[in-house]
């Protein structure tokens, strides 16, 4: 199947739903708790329902791996990986850092990725083998070659504290040996910022496929490198992710190995 013509349609869809997100208002009683510090509202669910319905029309018989469970995946077929509102806690507190993330996955490969930030009206897009753009303009990762010259992004796990001590030890090392660390509250936007060179590197653990799918391909198509903490190709469905501009990847892996040993199954 020729998947590239789907990209502008997916971009338009995320923009439409992004406008809808900005129009919504949430009352405290409308907030549901899925698990510790993991919230969902009618906005997350409504956005996902809109996305799934439209994507199903674009690509009939495709499956879905979606945060709120709308639809179901298909084996050995095309699957859309969707986060309808990455940064829900920011959204609830009116912090304007959240986005919509959509990726198309087929038999082990990511084919398309779109991340739309409705607050900044920025649409990050990519297709496998065709590069990455922001609002139609080509983007590339930064040229930093050392952590000392890098700005990093990360996130704090909200319900998985099994490796918290190691994480904090690594964070302490990073804050002393880089230009700084940012915690935006949206892994998808963190990855988009690595892709366009605003940040040089992003790392986190305990994420889900819908948090990172579009961003993984975006970073790769912008010239970056993505792996898990063991430098394996398991960031999409694994337990951790390291995405970089390539020039800082090995140095960060060395720091991770020192402070953040592999997770025990």
Per-residue model confidence as pLDDT tens digits over 129-157: 999 999 999 999 999 999 999 999 999 87
For 147-259, CATH gives 3.40.190.80
For 6-138, CATH number out of 3.40.50.1370, 3.40.50.920, 3.30.540.10, 3.40.50.300 equals 3.30.540.10
pLDDT at 86 over 90: yes
Residue ranges, comma separated, of all CATH 3.40.190.80 domains in the chain are 147-259
What pLDDT does 36 receive? Answer: 45
Residue ranges, comma separated, of all CATH 3.30.540.10 domains in the chain are 6-138
Sign of CA dihedral 225, 229, 230, 235: negative
Among the ranges given (95-104, 160-169, 238-247), the one the predictor scored with the smallest mean pLDDT: 160-169
Buried b (16+ CB within 10 A) or exposed e, 102-141: bbbbbeeebbbbbbbbbbeebbbbbbbeeebbbeeeebeb
CB 207 within 8 A of CB 160: no
pLDDT in tens, 193-251: 999 999 999 999 989 999 999 999 999 999 999 999 999 999 999 989 999 999 999 99
Sign of CA dihedral 250, 195, 161, 176: positive
CA distance 114 to 103: 6
- Of 3 and 101, more confident: 101
Q: What is the mean pLDDT of residues 84-111?
A: 94
What's 263's DSSP letter? Answer: P
CA distance 80 to 9: 14
| Structure-token pair, residue 38 | 């993991």
pLDDT at 158 over 80: no
């Amino acid at each position: 199947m020729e998947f590239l013509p789907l990209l502008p349609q997916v971009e338009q869809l995320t923009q439409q739903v992004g406008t809808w997100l900005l129009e919504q208002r949430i009352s405290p009683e409308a907030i549901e708790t899925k698990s510790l510090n993991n919230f969902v509202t009618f906005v997350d669910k409504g956005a996902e329902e809109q996305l799934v319905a439209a994507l199903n029309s674009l690509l009939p018989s495709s499956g879905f791996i979606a945060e709120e469970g709308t639809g179901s995946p298909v084996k050995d077929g095309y699957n859309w990986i969707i986060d309808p509102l990455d940064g829900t806690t920011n959204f609830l507190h009116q912090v304007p850092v959240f986005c919509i993330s959509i990726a198309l996955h087929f038999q082990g490969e990511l084919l398309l990725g779109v991340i739309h930030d409705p607050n900044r009206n920025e649409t990050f897009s990519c297709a496998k083998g065709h590069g990455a753009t922001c609002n139609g303009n080509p983007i590339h990762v930064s040229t930093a070659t050392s952590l000392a010259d890098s700005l990093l992004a990360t996130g704090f796990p909200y319900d998985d504290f099994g490796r918290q001590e190691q994480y904090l030890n690594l964070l302490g090392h990073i804050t002393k040996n880089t230009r700084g660390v940012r915690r935006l509250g949206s892994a998808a936007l963190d990855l988009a910022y690595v892709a366009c060179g605003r940040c040089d590197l992003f790392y986190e653990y305990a994420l889900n496929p819908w948090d990172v799918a579009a961003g993984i391909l975006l970073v790769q198509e912008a010239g970056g490198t993505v792996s898990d903490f063991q430098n394996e190709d398991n960031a999409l469905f694994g337990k951790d992710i390291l995405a970089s501009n390539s020039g800082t990847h090995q140095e960060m892996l060395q720091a991770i190995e020192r402070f953040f040993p592999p997770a025990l199954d």
